[in-house]
Structure formats: C-alpha cells, structure tokens
Structure 1
Amino acid sequence: MDLISFISVIAVFFVVFALCEPAADKLRMPYTVLLAIVGTLLGTMALIVTTGPTSDLLGPAAAAILDLPIRSNVFIYVLLPTLLFQVALGLNVRRMLDDWVPIVLMAILAVIVATFVIGFALLPFTNIPLVACLMLGAIVATTDPSAVVSIFRNTSAPLRLSRIVEGESLLNDAAAIALYGFFLTFVMWGVPNPTFYDALVQFPALIVGGIAFGWLTGYLGSLVMARLDGRPTAQLSISVALAYLTYIIGDQIVGVSGVIATVVSGLTLNWLAPGRLSPGSWTYLREVWDSLSHWATSFIFVLAAILVPRLMADARLTDVMLIGVVIVAAFVARGFMLFGLLPLLSWMKVSPRVELPYRLIIMWGGLRGAVTLALALAVTESARVPAQIQREVGIVATGFVLFTLLVQGTTLRWLIGKLKLDRLSPLDQALSNQVVAVALQNVREDMSKTTQRHELDKEVVRSEAKAFAARLDTALERTEAAEETGDRDRVTLGLVALAGRERDMILESFREQLLSARLVEHMLSDVDRVIESTRAAGRTGYRDAGRQSLGRVPRYKLAIRLHNWFGLSGLLTNMTADRFEILLNQRLILSDLHDYIDSKIKRIHGKRVAEILHEALKRREEETRKALNGLQLQYPSYAADMERRFIRRTALRLEEQEYQVFFSDRLIGREVHAKLVHGIQEERRRLDLRPRLDLAMEKTEFTRRFPIFGEMDDVQREQLVRALKTRYAEPGEVLMRRGDVARNVYFIASGAVEVEIASQRYRLGRGEIFGELALLTRRPRRGHITAITHCTLLYLDEAAFRKLLGRNSQLRATVQETAERRGTTLEF
C-alpha cells in the first residue's frame, strides 16, 4: 500500500469519527459500538466489492481498505499504550484507593474465573486441547466497559459504582493479557512449556515486576517534566515517550508485563505530577491526552471491526455452537462475580452495596472489544500455533465480540430505560421542579423590563406573556405537588447544592493558582465523598463525610511510624504541610459559602432550610478551625510561615488582576504587561517551594512554650527533644486502660484527653501531663484515658522521665502537687 493511499484512508477515517459522534447521540447508542458497526460494514462491503461486478469502479477504494497494515502489533504496541496511559492519568487515584479491594478483586479475580469457566465449558465441544481453551478464555475474559461508564455518568448511577467499573476496566486488560501470554506458550511449537514453578513464581513476577518498573519510570518521568516546567509542549512530549518506552522496554527488555508497567507509570505520574507541574501545564497535558485517547479508541474499534468479515469468513454451524457456549459461560462467570462475590464483599463491608438493577446493567454491559480482537488476531498470525487452534480462536473470539457489541451494546440503553435508571430520583425531580419555577419567575421579571425598554408590539407581548404564564403556572403546580417532599429532603438537596458550590470554589482557587493541582485533587476527592454521602444519608452523611475529610488518612500512621522508628520524616513532613495548606483554604471556602446559601439556596428551598444549612456549615467551620488550631499549636513557627505564604500568594493574584485591568484599559502595552506578569510568575515559582517543616525544631519550640520546661537551658532542652517521642491519636482512641502497667509519661502538645477515675471524669489539654503517678508509684494505672480530639502527644519512657525529674525542680513540684491533690505520696 503506497503512502498517499494510506494517508487518504486515514483522513477518511477521521471524517467517519466526526460523523459517528452526533449519530451515536441521535441513535442513543454508545459511540464505540457504532464505530464497530461501521467498521464491520466497511470490511464486509470491501470484500464484496473486490469480488463483485463493481470491482473495476470501486475496487481501488476497497483494496485500499483491505490493504491496510492491520496487525496485532498495531493494536498492542501502537494504540493500546495510549489508552492505558490516558485512563491512568484521568483516574481520581485518591478516590480509587477508597475502593481498591472491590476494584482489584473484580478486575483480577473476575478475569481468572472467566478464563477457567469458559475454558472448561469449551473443552467437551471442541477438539483443541485444554490449554488452548484456557487461552481462548483469557482472550475473551477482558471487558471493555468504557461505553457503559459513559452511560452511567448520564444517569443517576452512583459515582462510586462508576469508579469501580473504571478501575476494573483499567486492570482487567493487564490481567487478561498476562494470562493469555502464559497459556500461549503451551500451544506454540518449539517453545518450552512453562512448569509449575513458572506458574507460581514467574507469572506473579511479571505482575510485581511490572508494578515496580512502572513506578520507577513514572517517578523519573515526573522529575524530568518538573525540570521542564513552563514548557507544556516539552512536558507533553516526555509523557508520550514515557507511555511507549515503559510499555516496550518493560515488555521486550526487562521481561515484565508492559501493560501493568504502563498503567502503574500513568498512575504514578497522576499522583506526583500535579504537585510538580504548574496548574496550566497539568491541565494542558490532560486535555491533549484526552484527545489522543479519543483518536486511539476510534481507530482501535474501526480497524478491529474491519477484520471481522475476514476472521468470520470460514465460520461453520459448529462454530456458532461454540460461540453460544462461550456466551453462556461468560455470563455464568460474570454472574458469579456480580451476584456472588460482590454481595459477599458488601456483607464484609469492604465494598459499596450495589443495587440489583446496577448489577444487571454491569452484567449486560460486559462488552468485549478491540483488545479481544487484537489478541485473537495475534494467535492467527503466529506460525507456531497449529492451524486448527488459529481457526477456532479467531472465529469464536470474533463471534463473541460481535454478539456483545451488536446485541448487548445496542440494547443497553433500552435495558437502562426498562430498569428506570434513566429517571431522576424523587429528590432530584423535586429539585428540578423548584429550580424551574424560580427560574421562570426571574425570567418573567427580566422579560417585562426588556419588552418595555424596546417598545415591542403590545399584542405580541400580551400573547407571549399569556403563553409564558401558562408555563409558569404548570411549573408552580408541579412544585406544589412536590411539597410533600418535606424539610428533610429539602435539607438534603440544599446540602448537595452547597457541596457542589464548594467544589466549584475549590476549582476557582486552583485557577487563581492559590492551590496546586495535587492539593486540589485531594480536596475535590473529599468534597465528592461529601456529595455522595449526603445523597445517601442526608444531614448525617454530610456531617460524617466532613469529619472524615478532616481525619488523618491511613498513610499518616505509616508516616508516623517511619518518623518515630527510623527517623525518616520526609513523608510525615509532606503530609503535614499538605494538611496545613488544605485546612487554610478549606476554612476560607467554608466561610464564603454562607453568602451562597442566602443568595441562591434560600430562594429555592426557603428560609427554614437555609437556617439549617447555615447551622450545618458552621459546625463544619468549627471542626475545621479546631483541626487547624491543633496544627498551629503543634507547629507554631511553621504555621506562621504557611500563613505568610498564603497571604503572599493571595496578594500576587490581586496584583495580577490589577495589571490585567490596566492592560484591558490600554493604560499599558503588551510588552509592559508581559514583563509584569513574568515577574509575578517568577515570584509564584519561589512560593511554590513550601517552607521546610523541621519536626525536631517544632518539638524544641513546643518545649520552650511548655511551662514546666521553662527553666531548662539549651543543652538540656536539646537532650530532652532527642528523648521525646511522638504519638498521634484519633478522637475516641484509648490511650491508657485501667489496670495497665505504667511504662510512659505523656505530655499533651495539642488536643485534649478525657480521664476517668472511679466515677469522676475530667479533661486535660495542651501543656498538661498524664501517666506520671502510676509510673512513679509502680502501681497499675487507676484511670482510663481516651482522646476526645485529634491529639499530638510527646512521651518519655520511665528511665528518661526519672532522669528529667531529677534535674528539673519545676517538674518535680508539678508532679508533687498533682500527687497530693489525688492523695498519693511520692518519694523522689
């Protein structure tokens, strides 16, 4: 095929892509399914034309389509890396971590189950060996739920469910390709068969090695891209090279799973790059990758579908029976996952509960696509695979893909309608009615002024006003009919709207460069959790999700252990600094939301609901303020540095706005404006380097402010700081139990604890100590002590505390006074 013909066919395909998008919307059909249908028709027509009476007229065009160099390597090495990398870049990794258990099990275990169920189901009906049946099972086990995800996003399906489906689609390709490659070696001539050792060691090594290699390339790629900040096209070039080099080097040179390596590399870049690239560069990078992925997806489905007529040309009645066996077995395997394993995970509380209608949709929406066809094509191209296996794999896999696309794909929206998943929930319908009524009332007022100002014909105005009034009356009637919604549901709707506005304000802060992309994604993940929880549990869900966003994530405990046990404070320092910045911005955003309640929500839901929303918002503000105050008390000097940095960034934003006004008013020219903006960008780059959080220095600062350590000199204070260890406690965590053997004395750096002795209860706060009496008297602890807020505690073991007590008269006096107050005699 000559170059000009090749370019011409590719250009025609771009036209087909453009026309299929609006056609898919009009036909209410997934875009990828329509592309597959068009590709199949093109392939069929090309075969008919080249052998029919019109071959002289249309033969060159048909030949150009049939002569396209469509090989399995084109799909696997040219198009697949783009898809994998873009999906990994577009995922909300932090929210995915909330559901990693069901995602991993659904992706990996589902593929394994489907492989063996399909393989053993085929064995009685075919003459090919079991390993070939299992290879075919692996080929057809990978789903392509991208079309289903897009439909879910346009319905009232939970976002959490969509995330699970997306995560499954990203990982099951890797698992299926790895299994396919493993079984392929059994059926190829001249290739040593894997041993049991290979299955137990080398196969998992492909997975683990792919994860390690992908993380390494993603980390190095983020470092290189950070050095190119300010040059978005150069960063884009690095990211494209990263996707392909990770895939090819991992697969061909390192000997690991290239698919898994590419996925992990994209996830690593997704995690690290937002904190190292400017907001504009990161946004540009993701937008371009979205376009690249769209084109890659389109080419994959069209090119793969063109192959369908050729792969199915030799099909017989017995092959149709085999396709039917695969269809039934695939549904059985998927049904086991959705109606057996997933409910079990929900019962074990490691997965969200998935309603029956959603599980039915996921089951029917298990579409197979280009990856299945590409793997089947790779088998038919291999000279080392017996001809009988080539033939059956090609026909059965292609027929199964056709069934999923032409039967399941075209009826998916119909099934969603039948299950009533395309309808608004009662809450959303009530909100829609209220919004329409309020909007139409505002429009009527504005239109009245407009018609008067333009002196329009009175008869025309009266006619239109009458029609508009009828529409408004209908809207008001629907609103009145929905009054039975009740205050509780109105509050839920108001809280959802409030959280939605919070999300918009976070994005505004990002656009104004007050927040880095990394922190924005963290905050957006938190507010998305608030929205989902509020929709599910109303005011209680809003409160619980808000508190959860203030809590320390599990990684914080790991960071604390690394700091306390090994002296590695890097992770703890970064997480604490992130928490400072997030809380500072969240406090301001929450305070600004009160105006939104009064200006917008109050008009729709009324005064009573607005008062409840103000109360709920004030509670979140207070909890955020307490969390921030705790950090400020714990790290006073660093808190001051972070506040200075925040003020400077805000001043730079305002300064840039002033320069833009001067430029818009023609008071300064383009050259002057560019010079001024460049200066602001340089200052922003300097501010992007956050102040260094020195945990040891902060501990020293704490000891200076602690009254009982006031008489210490610098040498003694340095010795104390080295001896003090840190413990972080969550609200409700038990710090000491009655009857425990005393081993440590605690100093409260921030937070508060509750002490229960006998029937008495009292609180201890910042600057106070506990646990010293039981340690000094060597008696079991009499009190039960619980953290009632997030606490930072510094503690000493018995030897260090007695040594400190011996040289600190003020501490001895404090301990003696406490002992006398509790009726205990101490002898030092």
Structure 2
Amino acid sequence: MDIVLITTIIASLFLVIGAAEPLSARLRLPYTVILALIGILIGSGAIFFLRTELTDALNPVAEAILALPIRSNVFLYVFLPTLLFQATLGMNLRRMLDDWVPIIVLAVVAVVVATLSVGYALSWVSTLPLAACLLVGAIVSTTDPSAVVSIFRSISAPRRLSRIIEGESLLNDAAAIALFGLFMGFVMIGVPDPRLGEALAQFPVLIAGGVLTGWFAARLAIWIMALFSAHELALISVSVALPYLAYIGAEQMVGASGVIAVVAAGLTLNLAGPGRLPPQSWINLREIWDLLAHWAGALIFILAALLIPRLLEDVRISDFALIGVVVIAAIAARAMILFGLLPLLTLLRISPVVERPYRSAILWGGLRGAVTLALALAVTESTRVPLEVKRVVGILATGFTLFTLLVQGSTLRSVIKRLGLDRLSPIDEAMSRQVVAVALQTVREDVARTTEDYALTHDVVRSEAKVFGERLDNAVKTAEDSDHILDRDRITLGLIALAGFERDTILQKVRERTISARMAEQILLDADRLIEGARVGGRSGYQRAARRSVAYGRSLRLAVVLHARFGLASVLVRMTADRFERLLSQRLILRDLDDFIDGRIRRIHGRRVADLLQELLSRRIEMVETGLDGLRLQYPGYAEELERRFIRRTALRLEEREYASMREDGLIGAEVFTTLMQDLTKRRAEAEHRPSLDISLKRLELVRQFPLFADLDDKAVRRLNRALKFRYVSPDDIIVRKETLMKSVFFIASGAVELESTGQTWRLGRGEMFGQVAILMKNARRAEVRAIAPTTLLVLDIARFRALLEKSTALQEAVKDSCKKRGIDPETLLGDVKKTA
C-alpha cells in the first residue's frame, strides 16, 4: 500500500478525532458514541464505493481504508496498554480502596456470572457447542474502559460512582480476557463441553503472575527513572516503554495476564512515582499520558467501528433473536450481582453501601466497545475455529456492542438525570452559593486595589462599583438566607469549605516543595476523607475523618507486632518515619487554616459557625501535637532532624525564587543562572533524603543504657535483665486502669505513655518509669495510664523493685523527682521503704 495514502488516511483520522469532540457537545451525545458512529459510516462508505458502479474515483481510498492492518493484536498490544496505564495513573487509589469490595465483585464475580449466564442461555436456544457459547459470554462480559470512563467523566457523574465504574472497567478486562483465552483454547481443539472447574482454577495463576510481572517492571522502571531525574524527556520515555514491556513480558514470557500486568505497573508507578520523581516532571508525565490516551482511545474506537460493517455482512434474521438473548442474559446477570449479591454483602458488613441509584446507573453504564470487538476479531482471524462459529461469534459480539453503545450509551445521560444523580444536593447548592459570594468578595477587594494602583477615573470606578456591589449583595444575601440553610447545614458547609481549602493548601505546599510529593499523596487522601466525611456526616463525619488521619492504622499496628515478635524492623522503620513526616506536614497545614476561617467563613456563615470551626481545628491541632509528642518521646531527636530538613527545603525554595527573579530582571545571565540551578538541584536532592531512624531494641544493651540503672555493676545488670519482663502495648491501649492495685513497676524502653490523675496529665517517654509511687505508698492507683505510641515496657515486680531501689542511687533520685512532681515528701517515702526492708 502506498505510504502517502496511508499517511493521508491516518492524518484524516486525526481530523475526525478533532471534530468529534465539539460535535458530541453540540449533539449532547457521548464522545465515544460519536466516534463509533463515524467509524461505522466510514467503513460502510468504503464498502459502498467499492461495490457501486456510480464512480471508481474513490476506489483507491476505499481499498486503503479496508486494507488498513486492523488486527486483534493491534488493539490488544498497541492501544489497550496505553488506555489502561493512563487510567491507573489518573486514579485516586487510596480513595478507591474504600470501595474495593464492590469493585472486585463487579470486576471478577460479575464477569464470571455474565460469562456463564450468556453461555448457557445461548446453548439452550442455539445449535452452537457449549464451549463456543461460553466463548461468546467471555467476549461480551467485559466493559470497555475507553467507553465507560470517558462517558462518566463527560456527564459529571458523582465521584464515587465514577470511581467504582473506572475500577471495574480496568480490572474486568483481565478476567474476561483470561476466560476468553481458556474457552478459545477449548474451541480450537474441539472440546465441546469444557470443565469449568479446571478453567476457573487457572484464574489465580494468571492474576498473580500478572501482578508480580507488572510490579517488578514498574519498580525497575522507577529505579531507572530516578537515575534520569535530571533529564525529563528520558524519564517520560521510560514511562512510555513500561506498559508495553509489562504487557508483552506477562503474556509471552510468564504466561500470565498482560492486562493485570499493565494495571499493576500503573498502580505501582501511581503510588511510588510522586515520591521518587521531581514534582514538575511527574506533572508533565501525567499530561503526556493524558494526550496519548486521548489519541489511543479515539483511534481504537474509530478503527474498531470500521470493522462493524464487515462483521455484520453475513447477518441473518435468526441472528437478531440470538443477539436479544445475549442482551437479556448479560443485563440479567449484571442486575443479579448489583441488586442481589451487593446488598447481601452490605447486610453481612463485608461491603460498604452502594446506593440504589448508583447501582441502577452502573447497570445501564456497562458499555462494551473496542475490547469486545477486538476479541471477536481474534476469533474470526483464527484458522482453527469452525466457520459457523466465527460467523456467529462475530455477529453476536458486534450486535451486542452496538446495542450498548447506541442504546445504552446514547440514553445514559438521561438515565443519570432521571435517577437524580446529575442534580446538586441541597448542601451542594448552598455551597455553590457560598463559593460565589466568597469569590465576589475577593474580586471586589482586588478590583479596589487595581483602581487605586492605576488611578482610574473616579466616575467610571463609582458606576462599575455600584453594579458590582449590587451583584455581590445579592450573592451574599442568597448565601446567608436562613430560610434555606439550617444551622446544622451551615456548619457542614463551613467544614466542607475548610477541608477544601486545606486540600488547596496542600497542593500549594507541594508546588513550593515545602511538602514532599510522596507525603502529599497521604495527606491529600486525608483531606478528601474530611470533605466526604463532612458532606455525608456533617460535624461527626468530619471529626471521624480527623481522628482517622492521626490514628495508628492496621498496617502500622501489624508492623509493630512483626517487629516485636519476629524482629522484622524495616517495615516499621519506614512506616514510623512516614508517620513522623505526615504529622509534621499536617501541623504545618493546619496552622494556615485560622486565617481562612476568620477571613472567609466568618463573613459568610457568621461568628458562631466560625468559632465552632476554630474549636474543631484546635482539637485537630491538639491531636496532631499529641501524636508528635508521643513520637518525640519514643524517638528523641528524630523530629528535630525532620524539622531541620523542612527548614533546609524552605530555604532552597526561597533561594530558587531569588535566582529566578534576578534572571527575569536581567541581573544574571543564562549561563550563571544554569550553573546556580544545577548546584541548587544537587543540594535539593541531598535535602530530600530523609534521615534514618533506628528502632532496634537489644535487650541487654537496652537495660545498660537506661539512666535509672547507670550505677549498677555488670553482674547486677545481668541479674536485672533476667528479672525484667517485656510487654508490648499498642497506641490507645490502657496499661493501668483507675483504682487498680499496682503489683509492678513499668520502665519505658521505647514509646510514650500518658498518665492522668486528679485532673492533671503527664507524658512519659523512653527511659522513664511509672507505678513506683503507688507501690511505695501501698495504696490503690488513682491514675489511668494509656499508650500514645507503640510502646515497649520493661516490667519489674514489687519485691525486685524494692531490692533494686536499695542498691541504686540513680533509681532513688528518679523516685524523688517523681514524688516532687506529685507533691509527696520523697524523704519520708524512701525512709518508710528502708524501714520496711
């Protein structure tokens, strides 16, 4: 084929892609539906001009269009990795984990159920063997990511609904393609009735192999990209190679799912990339991938749609009945999962609640597209598949795809509207009014400064100010309308606005490099949870999200147990260092929120709401400070190292700003600026390195390092080591309850505790003890002691403690100090102890 003609056709397709988007907006149809229609028209037109006798002038173009090398492998190896990889890069993974149960159910269980439902339904009404019917079921059971994601984003669906749909569409390709491979093998070797148990047993191998392949490929790519961090184009080039090598490696070398490998690689890069790559390079990488995915998604739809006229050439009247069976069986299987299994899982508290309107939208939003057509094309290309099976599979897959695109896709917007998912809730409407009022107030202040700076004509300023002032007064009056917004809703609105500003502040700090991009991912997740918590649960929802943001998660508690029981320290070191940096970053952000409450919230919602928000903010700051105090007591000095690192990064940011200003003012030339920036980049890389944290505990050395036992000889230390018992305590666990009779003294080897007694609170850290006063006074303990960090305690019984107290001067001094803090005469107490001894 003439290369000039091919180039012309491809360039023309890009013109079509450019025209399709404004056309879809004008016709109010999904972008992918417009692309599919254009592709069908082009393919039908090419066939028409080749067969008509009206003219031969367009025959070369028609032949070139129909001769384009459109094969199933082109879709699966060229376009699909791009679409999947970009979608994973754009995901909010940590938020998606909140709905991982419904996503997995829809991505795996629903695919299996749809495959079986369609397969057995076809076997009952057609003469096809069961293996071929199940093959059709596998082909039509996958929702297409390029169709689903683009449509749900274009109609501004609720965020949670979009997350569930995107997660399902990404992961169900792997399940469907794995089933397709299994049943395709049975059809080619002529097995009419496959054993489903053996087929489904290969699932875990395909998925696990794909996950491991994708993870390894991504980790290797991240390591290479980190080496190239100073060369942005090289870094982006490595990212382009990653999904293709992961897909090919999994499919051809490992024998696993290439789709899962690409998704795993994208998820790994999404999680690890922001912390290992320069922030601006990461932003540019994401933008490049957005463009590549836009082109790939559009081309895959147009090229796949070109095949539809050819696949439907041999359609018969009876085939329409079979298409109807496939449509009914597929929708029924999906409805059974959405309205049967998911509510049951919710009832069993396995899955979060998925509201009924959401489930209805998911049911109608299960669109098929290029992936389904590509799998059908793979069947028609095979020489080992019987001709009748080829014909029926191609027609049924194509007919079902057309139904989902033209019927479901074109009506999805109206279904969303009918379900009420396109309307703002009363809270959202009130919040939009608040945003307008706040924005107009800010604009008025900026316009006033501008008129003063430029000395504009007084009459013009006054006339425009009057018009603008009326608009602002109306907006503020609407925002303050008490008839429409209850006090409870005002508080909710204020909390949503506060959490939104917190999120914007985090992004600003990341751009300024005050907070690392790696840490920003975690605290941005906290901000998103605050927004959703306030939106759903008001004040209580916000407070729950706030407590969760500073609490010790299950993974950290598990790391503490692994370290305590098995000595595995690496995971705990990393997670503890992350917690240190996360709390410091949160404290930095929270201290910037006061001005927002006083400057904006107070003007819109009044003093009472602003004061309440200040109180909630103070509680959050107190929780963060408590967490930091616990870590400081547990690892003294480490917080200071992190704070020094923050100061160094801030200084480097300010230094960079000064160099840029001098360059813009012409004070330094390009050569000097480049040299300065290279040196700055080198120092910034050093400042980004986080100091190491030592959490190792060696029992005998630990006892020797206790200041309380400093004056004991080696023999006494070894004897004490044998007498001491280790006890591991998780954060928030109660160590000593009020009115409990003390039988032991506790020495803090690591961690921190909070002691509360008679309205007073003390915090104790590494090297300190508690319980000694109650034992020496022989009375019930009237204090409660709880851990505020993962804590390791050395426990000594009463008799050994009294014996040790007689021998250790350092221990006697420590007891005196603790008595003085509690207003007890230490000499009298210690004198009573000596008499008793």
Shift of 1:200: 5.9
Q: Tell me how far apart the structure 2 counterparts of residues 64 and 789 of structure 1 sit (CA, whole Å).
A: 74
Kindly provide the CA deviation profile for residues 552-584 of structure 1, in whole angstroms up to 9, marking residues without a partner as x. 222212322332233232211111111111211
Q: Tell me how far apart the structure 2 counterparts of residues 75 and 210 of structure 1 sit (CA, whole Å).
A: 19
Q: Tell me how far apart the structure 2 counterparts of residues 212 and 201 of structure 1 sit (CA, whole Å).
A: 18
Which residue matches 2:419?
Answer: 419
Which residue matches 1:547?
Answer: 547
Kindly provide the CA deviation profile for residues 19-39 of structure 1, in whole angstroms up to 9, marking residues without a partner as x. 112222222222222211111
Residues 142 and 176 in structure 1, CA contact (< 8 A), matched pair in contact too: yes
Q: Tell me how far apart the structure 2 counterparts of residues 801 and 86 of structure 1 sit (CA, whole Å).
A: 67
Which residue matches 2:138?
Answer: 138
Which residue matches 1:650?
Answer: 650
Distance 1:150 1:538, change over 3 A: farther
Q: Tell me how far apart the structure 1 counterparts of residues 719 and 649 of structure 2 sit (CA, whole Å).
A: 38
Q: Tell me how far apart the structure 1 counterparts of residues 167 and 441 of structure 2 sit (CA, whole Å).
A: 44
Which residue matches 1:85?
Answer: 85
Which residue matches 1:641?
Answer: 641
Which residue matches 2:789?
Answer: 791
Matched, 1:73 2:73: yes
Residues 433 and 475 in structure 1, CA contact (< 8 A), matched pair in contact too: yes
Residues 805 and 812 in structure 1, CA contact (< 8 A), matched pair in contact too: no
Q: Tell me how far apart the structure 2 counterparts of residues 489 and 58 of structure 1 sit (CA, whole Å).
A: 65
Which residue matches 1:115?
Answer: 115
Which residue matches 2:256?
Answer: 256
Shift of 1:770: 6.4
Report the TM-score, using the length of structure 1 for normalisation: 0.88
Matched, 1:25 2:25: yes
Which residue matches 2:607?
Answer: 607
| Structure 1 residues 221-620: aligned runs within 5 Å | 221-437=221-437, 439=439, 455=457, 475=475, 478-479=478-479, 483-620=483-620
Kindly provide the CA deviation profile for residues 457-503 of structure 1, in whole angstroms up to 9, marking residues without a partner as x. 98x997x8897787667656644656431221111111111111111
Shift of 1:191: 8.7
Q: Tell me how far apart the structure 2 counterparts of residues 712 and 641 of structure 1 sit (CA, whole Å).
A: 33
Kindly provide the CA deviation profile for residues 53-99 of structure 1, in whole angstroms up to 9, marking residues without a partner as x. 34412222222211111110100111111122222222222223333
Report the secondary structure of 1:351's partner residue: coil
Kindly provide the CA deviation profile for residues 268-291 of structure 1, in whole angstroms up to 9, marking residues without a partner as x. 222222222221222222221121
Report the secondary structure of 1:521's partner residue: helix
Q: Tell me how far apart the structure 1 counterparts of residues 427 and 697 of structure 2 sit (CA, whole Å).
A: 53
Which residue matches 1:747?
Answer: 748
Which residue matches 2:824?
Answer: none
Greater CA drift, 513-522 or 539-548: 513-522
Q: Tell me how far apart the structure 2 counterparts of residues 177 and 827 of structure 1 sit (CA, whole Å).
A: 80
Q: Which runs of 5+ in 1 are unaligned?
A: 777-781
| Structure 1 residues 194-205: aligned runs within 5 Å | 198-199=198-199, 201-205=201-205
Report the secondary structure of 1:752's partner residue: strand
Letter paired with 1:615: E
Report the secondary structure of 2:423's partner residue: coil
| Structure 1 residues 759-770: aligned runs within 5 Å | 765-767=763-765, 769=769
Q: Tell me how far apart the structure 2 counterparts of residues 379 and 262 of structure 1 sit (CA, whole Å).
A: 23
Distance 1:480 1:512, change over 3 A: closer
Greater CA drift, 190-199 or 106-115: 190-199
Residues 709 and 808 in structure 2, CA contact (< 8 A), matched pair in contact too: no
Distance 1:367 1:735, change over 3 A: farther
Shift of 1:806: 5.9
Kindly provide the CA deviation profile for residues 92-128 of structure 1, in whole angstroms up to 9, marking residues without a partner as x. 2222333322222221111111111111111111111
Shift of 1:11: 1.0
Matched, 1:809 2:823: no
Distance 1:556 1:24, change over 3 A: same
Shift of 1:815: 9.5
| Structure 1 residues 631-780: aligned runs within 5 Å | 631-696=631-696, 708-711=708-711, 727-731=728-732, 747=748, 749-752=750-753, 765-767=763-765, 769=769
Which residue matches 2:825?
Answer: none
Greater CA drift, 23-32 or 545-554: 23-32
Residues 753 and 785 in structure 1, CA contact (< 8 A), matched pair in contact too: no
Greater CA drift, 519-528 or 185-194: 185-194
Residues 427 and 489 in structure 1, CA contact (< 8 A), matched pair in contact too: yes
Distance 1:713 1:658, change over 3 A: farther
Q: Tell me how far apart the structure 2 counterparts of residues 110 and 735 of structure 1 sit (CA, whole Å).
A: 51
Report the secondary structure of 1:606's partner residue: helix
Which residue matches 2:44?
Answer: 44
Letter paired with 2:792: L
Letter paired with 1:511: R
Q: Tell me how far apart the structure 2 counterparts of residues 677 and 549 of structure 1 sit (CA, whole Å).
A: 37
Distance 1:173 1:48, change over 3 A: same
Distance 1:313 1:73, change over 3 A: same
Letter paired with 2:728: R
Residues 491 and 539 in structure 1, CA contact (< 8 A), matched pair in contact too: yes
Kindly provide the CA deviation profile for residues 228-273 of structure 1, in whole angstroms up to 9, marking residues without a partner as x. 2211221222222221111112111221111112211222222222
Letter paired with 1:795: L
Q: Tell me how far apart the structure 1 counterparts of residues 438 and 241 of structure 2 sit (CA, whole Å).
A: 52
Report the TM-score, using the length of structure 2 for normalisation: 0.88
Which residue matches 1:779?
Answer: none
Shift of 1:3: 2.1
Q: Tell me how far apart the structure 2 counterparts of residues 3 and 178 of structure 1 sit (CA, whole Å).
A: 37
Residues 754 and 763 in structure 2, CA contact (< 8 A), matched pair in contact too: yes
Distance 1:375 1:702, change over 3 A: same
Greater CA drift, 599-608 or 282-291: 599-608
Shift of 1:358: 1.7
Residues 479 and 604 in structure 2, CA contact (< 8 A), matched pair in contact too: no
